[in-house]
Structure formats: structure tokens, C-alpha cells
Amino acid sequence: MRFVFILFISFLFVNLAVAQDKNMSTQERLKELARIKKESDEQKKREWDAYLVRVKESKIAKQQKKQADSIEKSKLADNIKKDVDDFPKCGDQESPYYMRKSTTTGFEEKITFTDYIRKHIMTKLNYPEFAMDHELQGRVMVHFIIDKEGNPQIKEAIGPKNGLILEEEAIRIIKSLPTAIPATCDGEPINVLYAIPINFQMQE
């Protein structure tokens, strides 16, 4: 009987020790998680501060470029139009377009530039992870020209406050456009200006 009692007491102490160890390991895990979160928050703040510096530098560079080119904001549209041929003067005009083989008929079919770029944006847009982490969203308006060779030439991208990374992604999307069949005026290739909005909206 004494042996059984001693065995019971020993078993009780072992269980208490195990329970104490479990409690300690849980506390340690919580402490470790808190440490990791703190480090993550600090790293996130450092990244954001560095990003704001880059945003500021980008703004200064844009301002300097405008000053060097003697371009005032109110005259930006007029300045862009200098690079674009005036469509209304054309007797026979055609906008840029693409050709692709139809999956149903097998024949080449014409796709308008407007239809093509809409699908292009949907398939090529990659929401920057940094922007998601810092809840950056909004619309970026990209001004660009499809030149006489059918290639995109970026003029300017205007996004929301602190939206530099969104502007960069919008520019990347437009630059990734394949060469189009250029616009023509009376059979001659011409430059055409476009202003395309690209929306960055986080899902709730």
C-alpha cells in the first residue's frame, strides 16, 4: 500500500512538472511571437520611411525636369500635343490596332487598340506587395504616345498621394505593350496620344 502511495505521489509531481513546462513554453512562444511582430513592425516602418524619401526625390526630379523644359503644369497638355499629329486634318484616318489569329475561324482578325489595352492591363497588372502592405491604392493616369513605329512612349504618370510605386507599375504595364500597327493619316504613320486610367483597388 505504501508503495502504491509513493508511486501516486511521484506520478503527481511528474504531471505538475510537465504542466509547468507546458505553461512556460506557451509563455515563451507568446513572447517570441511578440518579439517577431515588433521586429516586423519596425522593419515595415523603416521600409515606409525609405519609400517616402524616394517619393520626395521623385517629386523633386519631376519638378526639375519641368523647370528645365520650361513646362508649366497648366501647359502640359499643349506640350504633349506638339508630339502628336492632328487627326482632324486627315481625310482618311485610322487608329492603332493589332492583328491576331481567330481561335474560331483561324483567320487574322483586327483588334482595336482600346480593346487590346483593356485586356492587356487586366492580365499584366501585378499589385505591388509593398503597396498592399501599406494600403496604397487609387487611380494612376498614364499619358503616352503610340509612335509612328507603333511603340509606346511614356509622357507622364499621375497617381494618388505617395503613389509612386503604383505609378511605376502602371508605367511598366504600358511599356510592356507589344508593337502595334501604328495610326495613319491618309496612309502615313503618325503619333497618337492616349491617356489611360489604371485603377489599383485592394479587395476587402
User: Residue 189: helix, strand or coil by DSSP?
Assistant: strand
For residue 116, the model assigns a pLDDT of 95
| Whether residue 59 is found in the same domain as residue 97 | no
Same domain, 62 and 79: no
Cα 158 to Cα 140: distance, rounded to the nearest angstrom: 5
φ and ψ at 9, to 5 degrees? -65, -45
- More confident: 174 or 62: 174
Give the Cα separation of 135 and 138 in Å (integer). 10
Element (H, E) at 58: helix 2-68
Average pLDDT value for residue range 110-118: 94
Q: Mean of the pLDDT values across residues 47-67?
A: 81
What does the alpha-carbon distance between residue 115 and residue 100 come to, in Å, rounded to a whole number? Answer: 13
- Element at 108 (helix H, strand E): strand 108-112
Residue 134 clears pLDDT 70, i.e. is over it:
yes
Q: Select from 42, 70, 98 the last residue of a domain.
A: 70
Domain shared by 183 and 95, yes or no: yes
Q: Are the beta carbons of 171 and 79 closer than 8 angstroms?
A: no
Last residue of a domain, one of 44, 70, 96: 70
pTM of full prediction above 0.75: no
Same domain, 11 and 57: yes
Task: Let me know whether 10 and 98 are in one domain.
Answer: no
Q: How high is the pLDDT of residue 6? A: 40
Check whether residue 9 and residue 22 sit in a common domain: yes
Residue 49 and residue 84 in one domain: no
| 130 shares its domain with 155 | yes
| Nearest-10 Cα torsion for 34, 36, 37, 43 | 150
Q: 34 and 111: one domain?
A: no
Q: How far is CA 115 from CA 89, 103, 118, 156, 180, in A?
A: 25, 17, 5, 22, 13
pLDDT at site 2 = 43
Does 103 or 163 have the greater pLDDT score? 163
CB proximity list for 60: less than 8 A, separation 6 or greater = none
Same domain, 97 and 62: no
Number of domains in the chain: 2
Indicate if 101 and 134 belong to the same structural domain.
Answer: yes
7 lies in the same domain as 79: no
What local confidence, expressed as pLDDT, does residue 163 receive? 93
**84: CATH:** 3.30.1150
Q: What is the residue range of 11's domain?
A: 1-70
**Reported confidence tier of residue 3, pLDDT bands at 50, 70, 90:** very low
Question: Is 58 a residue whose pLDDT tops 90?
Answer: no
Last residue of a domain, one of 17, 41, 70: 70
What does the pLDDT read at residue 40? 80
pLDDT of residue 33: 84
The answer to whether residue 48 scores a pLDDT higher than 80 is yes
Alpha carbons 64 and 143: distance in angstroms, whole number: 19
